[in-house]
Structure 1
Amino acid sequence: MITLVSNSPTRQKILREYQIAFQQVSIDFDEESIASIVPKTFAYEACKHKLERALQELGSDCAILVADSVVSVSSCMQRKPKTKEEAREMLEKQSGQEIAIITAQILKTSKIEVCDISQTILKLQEFHKIDLKEYLESSLWQGKAGAVMVEGFHSKYIIKQKGLFSTALGLSVEKFLPFFAII
């Protein structure tokens, strides 16, 4: 059984859809301690620090899966917005643009350690103001990197996708399936 170290209901849903046996736990980790402003580096560093923290709290006898995602718009990193206004600013920068969703993930067991950093690029149409207002009012953007919800708000605005949809959701599960099979 895998221990998913994440608060994300989306990551939980992905593992369920693939019928991966798991338990979900959360750990305290302060992403503000990461200094990098380079999206791929930030995602990897956050993932690495989450794993270190998980090993301290859970030990090394279980299979631990950690992941972190960030959004990049014109090479500028977007993390989880803290306020509705911050979410609005992020979404306005994304409207009609190409965005990259970068997901880093690490699977660690007593026998293996596998790391992956992937990105999915989405070309978006301009957002309709009414849709944007409704999305912001819904609070569904909370806890989402860049306020991006590819399975919801963003879905009807995607013109082109390059990369795995699961990466855009926050867990590139297909890349780890061979390793889940040997746990």
Structure 2
Amino acid sequence: MIILASQSPRRQELLKYITTDFEIRVSDVDETLPDGISPSDAVLYLSSIKAKPFANGDDIVIGADTVVALDGKILGKPKTTEEARQMLRFLSGREHSVFTGVTIANAEKSTSFAVETRVKFFDLTDDEIERYIATGEPMDKAGAYGIQGYGSLLVESITGDYFNVVGLPVSTLARKLISFS
């Protein structure tokens, strides 16, 4: 049995490309990051602590976390519309990184990996930012945007795995699952 340690509907949908035989389990973990941690190390750390509570048997557990980073700064999920506005202005016209960390574990072993995708935004006008914020989409997304929704209108280019930006690097995960078994 595969356990996805994530309540993200996007990750659940993406995992179905690999298997439909999985269940969702989520525990309340403290996602506070150590000071000075790099974005790639942050997603490895977070994916690991999400998987760990369920890695106590033969079941294969998948934990994942995604962050958006620019200039070494991790942009989390905005708590207010003003935070979303600031993040989108920060990303406007610039290329940033999206990192997803994945941990695959059971009681006997564990492996983690991180995938980076580069995303470049168009130069955004204040009106474009306000219209996007009005959709409500930025409020539950790392970096205040979802590439799979209205946020796609902000993206000029992408280098790397599109699904990684959505929240799960499907092709890399599929290969890692084969070698994990």
Q: Which amino acid aligns with 2:75?
A: Q
Q: Does the Cα contact within 8 Å between 2:33 and 2:42 map onto a contact in 1? A: no
Residue by residue over 1:7-41, the C-alpha shift from the partner in whole angstroms, topping out at 9 and shown as x without a partner, is 21110111124444211122101212543442112
Consecutive unaligned residues of structure 1, counting only runs of 5 or more, are: none
Residue by residue over 1:92-140, the C-alpha shift from the partner in whole angstroms, topping out at 9 and shown as x without a partner, is 1001110100010011135653321111001111124333223222322
**SS state of the match for residue 156, structure 2?**
strand
**73, 77, 80: which one aligns with 1:80:** 77
Q: Does the Cα contact within 8 Å between 1:36 and 1:42 map onto a contact in 2? A: no
Q: Does the Cα contact within 8 Å between 1:34 and 1:46 map onto a contact in 2? A: no
Q: Does the Cα contact within 8 Å between 2:120 and 2:157 map onto a contact in 1? A: yes
1:143 aligns with 2:155: no
Aligned residues: 180
**SS state of the match for residue 66, structure 1?**
strand
**SS state of the match for residue 164, structure 2?**
helix
Displacement of 1:4 in angstroms is: 0.6
Q: Distance in 1 between matches of 2:135 and 2:41?
A: 31
Displacement of 1:3 in angstroms is: 0.8
Residue by residue over 1:126-161, the C-alpha shift from the partner in whole angstroms, topping out at 9 and shown as x without a partner, is 124333223222322232111121112331232221
Residue by residue over 1:34-76, the C-alpha shift from the partner in whole angstroms, topping out at 9 and shown as x without a partner, is 4344211211111122222333xxx333110000111111222
- 1:13 maps to which residue? 13
- 2:32 maps to which residue? 32
Q: Which amino acid aligns with 2:82?
A: E
1:159 aligns with 2:156: yes
Q: Does the Cα contact within 8 Å between 1:3 and 1:65 map onto a contact in 2? A: yes
**68, 71, 76: which one aligns with 2:65:** 68
Q: Distance in 1 between matches of 2:140 and 2:27?
A: 15
- 2:90 maps to which residue? 93
Q: Which amino acid aligns with 2:128?
A: D
Q: Distance in 1 between matches of 2:70 and 2:163?
A: 19
**SS state of the match for residue 7, structure 2?**
coil
- Tell me the TM-score normalized by structure 1: 0.86
- 2:42 maps to which residue? 42
Moved more, 32-41 or 168-177: 32-41
Let me know the Cα RMSD of the aligned residues.
Answer: 2.1
Q: Distance in 1 between matches of 2:15 and 2:177?
A: 11
